[in-house]
Amino acid sequence: MTALLTVAGVSKRFGRVEALTGLTLSVAPGERVALLGHNGAGKTTLLRLILGFLRPDAGSIRVGDHAPDSTAARRAVAYLPENVAFPKALTGRELIGFYARLRDVSTDDAMAALERVGLAHAADRASGTYSKGMRQRLGLAQALLGSPRLMLLDEPTSGLDPLSRHDFYALVDVVAAAGTAVLLSSHSLSEIEARTDRVAILREGRLVADAPLSRLQAEAALPVRIRVRAQPETIDDVSDRLGGTRVNGQTVELIFSQTEKMRRLAAISALGPLVTDFDVTQPSLDDIYVHFSRAAGEGGAS
């Protein structure tokens, strides 16, 4: 499948700040890619480059076969900025109608977009009365107008409650299933709920990872942690036999790699009644993210 969005070796600096360095990334039709990074990592800068608002100092960007600032590219792209504050006095219907006219989309299609994000019931209320989640959905409705081929969403789920976030990703799934390429930015892996096909991690303007989540999990090879509890009288014995470290009077902590997991569990169960309880902590999505965004270079940027 040929990529819809191609970013090749793009660098961008603002005065002394090197916002992006030699960034290469592509997104295919129907693909959902999450762009992760800390504050100031360069996520918004990348999206603004793709929109043609900024020009790269080096490298090239193509949307389909078009340059980013061309009319053809802008017809193909939809954008949801990081923080939009719509004119408070205007209603949802008026706002979506306005963006529809700019995109040469009919009023009916505009209302259909409001319905898709579940905002039809509030269409005639001033947007100033909307909750944050409703405003975000209005922004998303605007991005749905005219069946874009590439959606650029800057932190679309920050500040949304888990339910709204779930609805949001359900909508992204539908859009992507219809062939739209989706590139969305976020601050953490846990926020995107493993709902994207690929994860690209930016660290200080450099791409430090670009792979499906499962591969990142495997590559990171983060250790498993097991905490074993025992009686205070037997805790030293348990600690010696398992080779862990004592955390307090009745807990021993073991940290080891994924491949050792079964062997260690067998050793623990062999202790029989000496062990009163234990719990296993797998590395979380956030742990994986922290691993890649801390350990630059080791992340296997591809």
Ligand X SMILES: Nc1ncnc2c1ncn2[C@@H]1O[C@H](COP(=O)(O)OP(=O)(O)OP(=O)(O)O)[C@@H](O)[C@H]1O
Residues at the contact surface with ligand X, assessed by CB under 6 A: 14, 17, 19, 37, 39-45, 82
| Partner in contact with 84, chosen from another protein, ligand X, Mg ion, none, beta carbon below 5 to 8 Å by kind | another protein
Phi, psi angles (nearest 5°) of residue 256:
-155, 170
Closest CA to 110 of 99, 125, 118, 119: 99
Closer by beta carbon to another protein, 156 or else 244: 156
Name the nearest CA neighbour of 126 among 138, 116, 115: 138
Of 54 and 143, CB closest to ligand X: 54
98 binds, among Mg ion, ligand X, another protein, none (CB under 5 to 8 A by kind): another protein
Report, in Å, the least distance between residue 18 CB and ligand X.
Answer: 8
- CA 244, CA 190: separation in Å to the nearest integer? 29
Q: Quick one: what does residue 75 bind among Mg ion, ligand X, another protein, none, with the CB cut-off 5 to 8 Å set by partner type?
A: another protein
Least separation in angstroms between CB 85 and Mg ion: 16
Q: Which of 6, 11, 26, 44 lies at the binding interface for Mg ion (CB under 5 A)? A: 44
Minimum separation from the CB atom of position 107 to another protein (A): 12
CB of 146 to another protein, least distance (A): 9
Check residue 136 for interaction with another protein (CB under 8 A).
Answer: no
Of 128 and 179, CB closest to another protein: 128
Determine how many CB atoms are found less than 10 A away from the CB of residue 218: 11
Q: Are 183 and 153 in contact (CB under 8 A)?
A: yes
Q: Quick check: 21 and 208 in contact, CB under 8 A?
A: no
The stretch among 76-84, 123-131, 157-165, 234-242 that binds Mg ion (CB under 5 A) is 76-84
Site for another protein in 66-105 (CB under 8 A): 71, 74-75, 77-87, 89-90, 94, 98-99, 101-104
Q: How far is the CB of 168 from ligand X (least distance, A)?
A: 18
What Å distances lie between residue 199 and 26, 27, 33, 154, 208, CA to CA?
A: 12, 11, 6, 15, 10
- The binding site for another protein (CB under 8 A) comprises 48, 51, 53-54, 71, 74-75, 77-87, 89-90, 94, 98-99, 101-104, 139, 142, 152
- The binding site for Mg ion (CB under 5 A) comprises 43-44, 82
